[in-house]
């Protein structure tokens, strides 16, 4: 297969499907399998761009979450009966700290439960981290819907300015050092911030002039009336969604205010977005293709999610292990196969192109 980058949206859908799958189970074996699959695909298909290295920091963050979760459980956990591991000294906090009691007996059950829940969050974070390392943010920006075009331009400008800013800061710092001016600490920061900012603002005016001279800001031939109709639909849709959320969360509210309201709001918003899109006259430069590898990637992610949802509905044991009595975690077959299928992109998607910069 010719090397090319897979569409960033395909990676994000794959990763979010895996993350949603992780929400359906607290079985440590399945969760570990999910992390392993994400890790495998990242190792096989990440590029050598700077963002591709972020997976490791997401994993470390996940480990930190598990540790904090267990520590919180030991210090503040509800004291439930079970196999006592050890007993922490007991201490009642003063009233300004909410009168919580610290310490007490720590049971195996509570530690295992805290570990499993921490692992679930860590899996979620690992899946998101996989998407961060696999999908190029620059390509992702190019699929921003045309309604957000102006903001997409701002972020593109920012992303291309950021490396220049770092270079400029290093240059100014060197110059200050050579002149014997303070270049460290707070005084150094002050001497650094102002020239960097002045230079950046200067460049921004140059950029604005060149954008103006190239015709930036041309608006489509949308009539005022259609524009206003679209904006009113946006506003009404937002209001409907807000009412809908409150309706869903408050069981005392009438049913009409819940899911139906959410549906109406979503429909209005989609309609206004489509209206804005159809009136846009902008074309895309070399759009990323969406072909077989993209469908495979999305399908692989969705297979994991579907297998877990199906297992939940079929009532397969082992998705949520029992803590009383404590049993060894099981590896349910159907979800395991579904999750393994999510590793397909590690072999079936094209390799990323080698960047020569």
Partner 1 sequence: MTALASGQIRFHWRSSSLLAATSIAGIAAFTWPLFTRPRGSENLAHSGDAPWVFIVLVPLLVAILLSELADGALDAKAVAMLGVLVACGAVLRAPTTGVTGFTGVFFLLIPGGRVFGRGFGFVQGALTMFASALLTGGVGPWLPFQMLCTAWVGFFAGCLPRAQGRSELALLATYGAIAGLVYGLVMDMWFWPFGTSGTQLHFVAGAAITENLRRFWAFHLASALGFDLPRAAGNALLVLVAGTPVLAALRRAARRAAFGAPVHFEPHGP
Residues 29-58 that bind partner 1 (CB under 8 A): 51, 53-54, 57
Q: Do residues 47 and 136 lie in contact, with contact meaning Cβ atoms separated by under 8 Å?
A: yes
Spell 154-177 as b/e; 16+ CB within 10 A means b: eeeeeeeeeeeeeebbeebbeebe
Q: CB 42 → partner 1: shortest distance, Å?
A: 11
- Tell me which residues in 228-257 interact with partner 1 (CB under 8 A): 231, 234-235, 238-239, 241-242, 245-246, 248-252
Only one of the segments 29-37, 188-196, 302-310, 349-357 lies at the binding site for partner 1 (rule: CB under 8 A); that segment is 188-196
Burial class of residue 283, CB neighbours in 10 A (0-12, 13-18, 19+): exposed
To partner 1, the closest distance from the beta carbon of 1 in angstroms equals 26
Cα torsion 9, 11, 17, 21 to 10°: value is -160
Tokens of 155: 């972020």
81 binds partner 1 (CB under 8 A): no
Smallest gap, in angstroms, from Cβ of residue 248 to partner 1?
A: 6
SS (H, E, C) 226-295: HHHHHHHHHHHHHHHHHHHHHHHHCCCCCHHHCHHHHHHHHHHHHHHHHHHHHHCCCCCCCCCCCCHHHH
Q: Between 131 and 300, whose beta carbon lies closer to partner 1? A: 131
Q: Restricting to residues 141-170, name those near partner 1 by CB under 8 A.
A: 141, 147-148, 150-151, 153-159, 161-162, 164-166, 169
Q: CB neighbours (10 Å) of residue 265?
A: 20
Residue 334 interacting with partner 1 (CB under 8 A): no
Of positions 7, 33, 115, 129, contacts partner 1 by CB under 8 A:
129
Q: In the complex with partner 1, which residue's Cβ is closer, 135 or 344?
A: 135
Question: Is residue 217 at the binding interface for partner 1, with CB under 8 A as the rule?
Answer: yes
Please identify, using beta-carbon distances, which residue of 25 and 234 lies nearer to partner 1: 234
Site for partner 1 in 109-128 (CB under 8 A): 110, 113-114, 117-118, 121, 124-125, 128
């Amino acid at each position: 297969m010719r090397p090319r980058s897979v569409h960033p949206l395909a990676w994000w859908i794959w990763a979010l499907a895996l993350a949603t799958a992780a929400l359906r189970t607290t079985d440590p074996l399945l969760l570990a399998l999910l992390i392993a699959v994400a890790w495998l695909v990242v190792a096989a298909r990440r590029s050598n761009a700077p963002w591709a290295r972020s997976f490791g920091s997401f994993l470390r963050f996940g480990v930190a979450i598990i540790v904090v979760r267990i520590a919180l459980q030991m210090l503040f956990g509800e004291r439930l009966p079970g196999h006592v591991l050890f007993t922490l000294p007991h201490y009642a906090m003063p009233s300004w700290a909410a009168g919580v009691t610290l310490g007490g007996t720590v049971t195996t059950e509570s530690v295992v439960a805290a570990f499993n829940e921490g692992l679930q969050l860590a899996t979620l974070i690992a899946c998101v981290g996989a998407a961060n390392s696999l999908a190029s943010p620059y390509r992702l920006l190019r699929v921003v819907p045309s309604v957000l075009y102006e903001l997409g331009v701002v972020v593109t400008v920012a992303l291309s300015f950021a490396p220049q800013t770092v270079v400029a800061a290093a240059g100014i710092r060197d110059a200050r050092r050579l002149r014997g001016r303070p270049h460290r600490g707070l005084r150094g920061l002050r001497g650094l911030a102002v020239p960097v900012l002045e230079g950046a603002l200067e460049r921004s005016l140059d950029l604005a002039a060149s954008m103006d001279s190239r015709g930036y800001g041309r608006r489509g031939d949308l009539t005022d009336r259609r524009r206003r109709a679209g904006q009113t639909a946006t506003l009404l849709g937002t209001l409907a969604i807000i009412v809908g959320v409150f309706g869903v969360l408050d069981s005392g509210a009438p049913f009409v205010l819940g899911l139906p309201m959410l549906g109406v709001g979503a429909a209005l918003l989609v309609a206004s977005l489509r209206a804005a899109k159809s009136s846009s006259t902008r074309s895309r430069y070399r759009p990323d293709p969406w072909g077989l590898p993209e469908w495979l990637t999305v399908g692989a992610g969705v297979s994991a999610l579907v297998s877990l949802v199906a297992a939940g509905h079929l009532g397969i044991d082992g998705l949520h292990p029992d803590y009383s009595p404590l049993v060894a975690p099981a590896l349910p077959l159907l979800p395991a196969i579904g999750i393994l299928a999510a590793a397909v992109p590690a072999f079936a998607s094209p390799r990323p192109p080698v960047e020569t910069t």
